[in-house]
Amino acid sequence: MKLITEYVEENLSYFTEDSKESGNRNTFIEGIFMQTEAKNRNGRMYPKKIMESAVHKYVEEQVSKGRAVGELNHPNGPTINLDKVSHRITDLKFEGNDVVGKALVLNTPMGKIVKGLMEGGVQLGVSSRGMGSIENKNSMSVVKDDFHLATIDIVQDPSAHNAFVNGIMEGVDWVWDNGILKAQQIEKYETEIRRTKAKDLEEMQSKMFQDFLSKL
């Protein structure tokens, strides 16, 4: 069995709701979390029947018991690292061939970073993380029936670095580790952006965003 991760190229909804229990406002993300019966950009295809079984098991064993937590960015394995947890999946169900989900963004250090990024206009996405075997069929890698869904993580959208840089230049306060992105770090990024030639700007933006993520 191999570690399999899949990014979903669909926009997420980001919204807040009042909590009936605490009276506080909770932050949620909602949208398509996984897709089946279609070849994705990684050349893989998830049969709906296999994914239905994996999702049902995950909902029964994790979601329904309040254990379905995910991380900000993928780790190197299937294990959940509690110090990196950013959200808890509260709902997961099929709509056609899509698996639609809803997740509560937690008030953990990583959850606060997610909120800060989204409030600053950064486009984040979700990516499933699981274990399973793959077989080649009709020029596709088809996921087999031993697939086990570990979780769904919040990850960087391919276009996220542009929004991140725009937020820096507009003076957005970025959430860092237990607080705000330090002023000197913002100034460093601003200086690098202003010094970069137009033809090299896209590469610099990408490097800058990766630098930010590496410090999480």
Contacts of 158 (CB under 8 A, 6+ apart): none
Dihedral angle of Cα 47, 65, 8, 39, to the nearest 10 degrees: -10
Active site residue 22: no
Active site residue 64: no
- Selected catalytic residue, list 74, 86, 87, 128: 74
Amino acid symbol at 211: D
Contacts of 125 (CB under 8 A, 6+ apart): 7, 8, 9, 10, 12, 154, 155, 156, 157
Q: Residue 63 has what DSSP assignment?
A: G
- Selected catalytic residue, list 86, 87, 127, 161: 127
| Residues acting as catalytic residues | 74, 127
